[in-house]
Amino acid sequence: MSIFKKGIYFGVAVCDVSTGEYYATQINENNNFERLLDEISRFSPAEIIANDLLYASSEEIAKIKERFGLYISKANEEAFTTNTEKIIENYEIVSDKGIKIHTFEDKLFAVAAINGLLDYLNQTQKIKLEHINTIQIYNTNKYMSLDINARRNLEITERMRDKSKKGTLLWVLDKTSTSMGGRMLRRWLSDPLIDIFEIRNRLDAVEELKDNIMLRGDIVETLKKVYDIERLIGKISYGNANARDMISLKNSIKQLPEIKAILSKTNSALIQKLYTQLDELKDVYMLIDKAIIEEPPISVKEGGMIKKGYNEEVDELKSATTDGKKWLMELEVKEKEQTGIKNLKVGFNKVFGYFIEVTKSNLSQVPERFIRKQTLTNAERYITEELKNLEEKILGSQEKLINLEYELFLEIRCELAKQIKRIQNAANIISTLDVLTSFATVAQDLNYTKPTMTEDGIIDIQGGRHPVIEKMLPSGSFVENNTYLDKEADRLSIITGPNMAGKSTYMRQVALITLMAQVGSFVPATKANIGIVDKIFTRVGASDDLSMGQSTFMVEMMEVANILKEATSDSLVILDEIGRGTSTYDGLSIAWAVASYIADKEKCGAKTLFATHYHELTELENQVEGVKNYSIAVKEKGEDIIFLRKIVKGGTDESYGIHVAKLAGVPAPVVKKANEILKSLERKSALSKTTEKENKKQPAGQLDMYNYKLAELAHEIDKINLNELTPIEALNTLVKLKESVS
Ligand code: ADP
Ligand code: MG
């Protein structure tokens, strides 16, 4: 990635040299450095080059290094020009919709970054890379903006703890058949869309592939035979592809007509588009098929690659080497007859070449014309004039053959390099199809549903599940939950509930379902209406955020500040126990102020899920329009609590912290003491509050028992297995349920 900084603006260009993808953009709005960090995390490059100004901004450089742990170097300052001519001459410039762009004078920061990167690639790669032929200039607002914390926190492509793929959204959704598809899926997950038509197109395609099981099966079968075409193209372009790579390429291309035939039977717009655009590359297939044998050697400098019939001279030289063997046998027979030495034989070794070997006992019969070359313990080796001539003929043609085969191979590789653009396009279509098919398979296997996409700003999820936690828990044990958020009365949900109740899981589930829908995937829910969001933010309170290392309250507040600046009324904000990193009163005051600010339509109005252990925040429901209280239900059973995992209306004023301590095995005397202290504290605060309370119609933040009852009831009904119930049992169950309500 090349980053060009000018004033407070940035140009960014990024290239994957192995696959040839090349993107560029510029950031010249608000809060630019945060945006830059988002772009870096979107691509997670291996290396960054910077212009002088950025390199000299030591604070920014330090931040990038600390966040991403990558290598940053200063590049040649002169290279970062705003000259567009050379770019236009050598590359096709396309917009993020794939439309060709002819001028991009309005994107000069991006241009500077592109020029800087091209110069660097030229210097380090030394050769012109044919597979880098298109530069896509994208707008940072084509995609949903996901801040780095959201990417990390939602564990989209890597786990926070160990950076592994297992346990991430990618892990759940990746049923791709090719490594190209796997890479594209990763990119899609990093770049959720915001264009409703594009999203619907993907969803319709996934639906068709999900419903048409035969079609999906055929596609998967065929895709499995496709190698990593992108990497093969990279090798061809670098000039280090061997004949085996060409055969892999050929065998992959061989699948294209098959795929095209399968796709001809589809209806959805996106797959139809893939069908029409898929080039079967028959000429490329023929070229390799005519020239290269099926199982060529790894080395390209030892011959044995070119097929019979491809080149006359190769065929002639080949027959010279096979004929040579015949000639040598004839010579051996002739010399045996002429000298009368019965065990005389013709042989070959690498140092001395061809020779005639005569054992010691027959030395007297050796004629004058034999010239001695080598003495062994039992034998002498000779050559003759005739053998010398034969040797030249045989070895000469072998050498010629090897050279000629190498030349022809280079010609073919060059020819292929000219077709790279077409091959890349085909590879892209394969990858897209692979990802869509993977979505369809996952939707089928995990019982996902097609979300309805709207632009009304309403997120309405019925029976939502957390895709990753659901998969990690025993099948069927994850408890579904509903969500309703809109731009009006239900903008901000305050979520309370004891530790371990499932608050964080619930909030992440809403963010993940929204993200999945905008990527074009079906979602883990029974029904989902997703009003497209422009940005997702998450912030987890400092003490909960183990991976940060420094875990400072300062960092937490800086990020909260950023969310308050950046979130719009179309954004989705997840705040998980913010304010924890400081004293109770500080923390509570900050949490309170942040929640009221976000809920304020004039100032922000983003859809927000706000989990907190400050029960005082439930008061906000009465004071700020758009705020609703929820809690995650638990059931008290004597001294113990049972987690119901159901989100219900209303706040809770009990933290159950002591219950959790007991569950976790804190010794009984300690738990008992804690309970006593709690009781005395509650008595004290009750005394001080009575006067306040008398002035209010309704005591704020009270546990809503009715809703808990409902949740419990729902849970009981949920547990009933209708398939195993006799009519009598059903009746008894109904009686029991009825009793429990009355
Ligand atoms: P909190 O944030 O309230 O402390 P978490 O969201 O971290 O709680 O959840 C704690 C654990 O509870 C999770 O690791 C998960 O195993 C379990 N859990 C959470 N939600 C559910 C659910 N809906 N169904 C089943 N198990 C859940
Ligand atoms: Mg939590």
Residue nearest to atom 5 of ligand 1 (CA): 502
Identify which ligand lies nearest to the alpha carbon of 506.
1
| Whole-Å CA distances, 303 to 113, 222, 300, 488 | 44, 32, 6, 74
Which pLDDT belongs to residue 694?
42
**Residue 499 Cβ < 6 Å to ligand 1:** yes
Q: What separation in Å is there between the alpha carbon of 310 and the centre of ligand 2?
A: 68
CATH of 450-655, one of 3.40.50.1100, 3.40.50.300, 3.30.470.20, 3.90.1150.10: 3.40.50.300
**Residue 645 Cβ < 6 Å to ligand 1:** yes
Q: Alpha-carbon distance 629 to 430, whole Å?
A: 47
Q: Alpha-carbon distance 108 to 112, whole Å?
A: 6
- Burial class of residue 257 (count of CB atoms within 10 Å of its CB; 0-12, 13-18, 19+): middle
> Residue 481 CA: which ligand 1 atom is closest?
23
Give the CATH superfamily of 1-142.
MutS, connector domain (3.30.420.110)
> Residue 632 CA: which ligand 1 atom is closest?
3
pLDDT higher than 60, residue 654: yes
Q: Please give the sequence-ordered ranges of beta strands (E in DSSP) within 186-313, or none if there are none.
A: none
State pLDDT tens for residues 102-111.
777 788 899 9
The reply to whether CATH 3.40.50.620 applies to domain 174-281+419-446 is: no
Phi, psi of 589 (to 5 degrees): -65, -40
Q: What separation in Å is there between the alpha carbon of 498 and the centre of ligand 1?
A: 11
Q: What separation in Å is there between the alpha carbon of 500 and the centre of ligand 1?
A: 6
**Residue 505 Cβ < 6 Å to ligand 1:** yes
> In which band, very low, low, confident or very high, does the pLDDT at 251 lie, cut at 50, 70 and 90?
very high
- Domain ranges across the chain: 1-142, 174-281+419-446, 312-414, 450-655, 668-741
Identify which ligand lies nearest to the alpha carbon of 465.
1
Residue nearest to atom 10 of ligand 1 (CA): 500
CATH topology classification for 312-414: MutS, DNA mismatch repair protein; Chain A, domain 3 (1.10.1420)
The arrangement of strands across the sheet holding 371-375 comes to 345-349, 353-359, 379-383, 371-375
DSSP classification of residue 540: E
> In which band, very low, low, confident or very high, does the pLDDT at 691 lie, cut at 50, 70 and 90?
very low
**Residue 500 Cβ < 6 Å to ligand 1:** yes
Task: Check for a shared fold between 174-281+419-446 and 450-655.
Answer: no
Q: Which H/E stretch holds residue 285?
A: helix 282-291
The mean per-residue pLDDT over the stretch 360-378 comes to: 90
State pLDDT tens for residues 434-484.
999 999 999 999 999 999 999 999 999 999 999 999 999 999 999 999 999
Placement of tokens 């496709």 in the chain: 226
pTM of the model: 0.78
Q: Which amino acid is it at 577?
A: E
**Residue 237 Cβ < 6 Å to ligand 1:** no
Tokens representing 178 are: 């090719």
Residue nearest to atom 6 of ligand 1 (CA): 502
The mean per-residue pLDDT over the stretch 660-689 comes to: 71
State pLDDT tens for residues 280-295.
999 999 999 999 999 9
> Residue 497 CA: which ligand 1 atom is closest?
3
> In which band, very low, low, confident or very high, does the pLDDT at 698 lie, cut at 50, 70 and 90?
very low
> In which band, very low, low, confident or very high, does the pLDDT at 701 lie, cut at 50, 70 and 90?
very low
- Euclidean distance between the first and the last CA atom of the chain, given in angstroms as a whole number: 66
Mean pLDDT, the chain, whole residue set: 88
State pLDDT tens for residues 197-220.
999 999 999 999 999 999 999 999
State pLDDT tens for residues 390-435.
888 888 888 899 999 999 999 999 999 989 889 999 999 999 999 9
pLDDT higher than 50, residue 548: no
**Residue 431 Cβ < 6 Å to ligand 1:** no
- Farthest CA pair distance, the chain: 134
Identify which ligand lies nearest to the alpha carbon of 631.
1
Tokens representing 308 are: 């019979």
